Amino acid sequence: MQKITPCLWFDGQAAEAADFYVSVFGGDSRVLETSRHSGDGPADSGAVLTVRFQLAGQEYLGLNGGPAFHFTEALSLSVDCADQAEVDRLWDALTEGGEESRCGWLKDRYGLSWQIVPRALPEILGGPDRDRAARAMKAMMGMGKLDVQALLDA
């Protein structure tokens, strides 16, 4: 088990969300463990309390904590995408039932914020050509889903 595991607070959708995320990321992604209420607490006996799951090798804990707290953009999951095809696939899957934002950000159907980032972007922004980096940053600021070719051409 990894030392630090992000815990994501859901209002009864932890198992559904874990299954959805596993289906989107595939590969080294799976549901690892589900714990259920015993009936001694606030939920019915047998209701899902937590779901431990793995996405691309990273473990997460989904907690059905109730309606008290909601996701905000103050926490987002950033995904390194090899190419435009991966950007497109993840963007399409995660925005279904969610909402698009700017600069590669989106909210999924559960309200969790994601950054879908092509690998080329940090390479351009951190590269030695500062003028190119500035042009790429300006181009990115006008995008929703990031367009790798447009960033390279900037």
- Comparing C-alpha atoms, which of 49, 19, 31, 27 is closest to residue 109? 19
The pTM for the full model equals 0.93
| Pair 83, 66: CB distance under 8 Å | no
Instruction: Tell me the pLDDT band of 133, cut-offs 50, 70 and 90.
Output: very high
pLDDT one-digit tens code per residue, 3-54: 999 999 999 999 999 999 999 999 999 999 999 988 777 778 889 999 999 9
Q: Looking at residue 39, what is its pLDDT?
A: 76
pLDDT of 110 above 80 = yes
Q: Looking at residue 109, what is its pLDDT?
A: 98
Residues 6+ apart with CB under 8 A from 35: 48, 49, 50, 51
Q: Looking at residue 38, what is its pLDDT?
A: 84
Full set of structural domains in the chain with CATH: 7-64 (3.30.720.100), 76-153 (3.10.180.10)
pLDDT of 143 above 80 = yes
Q: Looking at residue 40, what is its pLDDT?
A: 76
pLDDT of 1 above 90 = no
pLDDT one-digit tens code per residue, 63-98: 999 999 999 999 999 999 999 999 999 999 999 999
d(CA 65, CA 20): 19
Q: Looking at residue 152, what is its pLDDT?
A: 95
d(CA 98, CA 82): 23
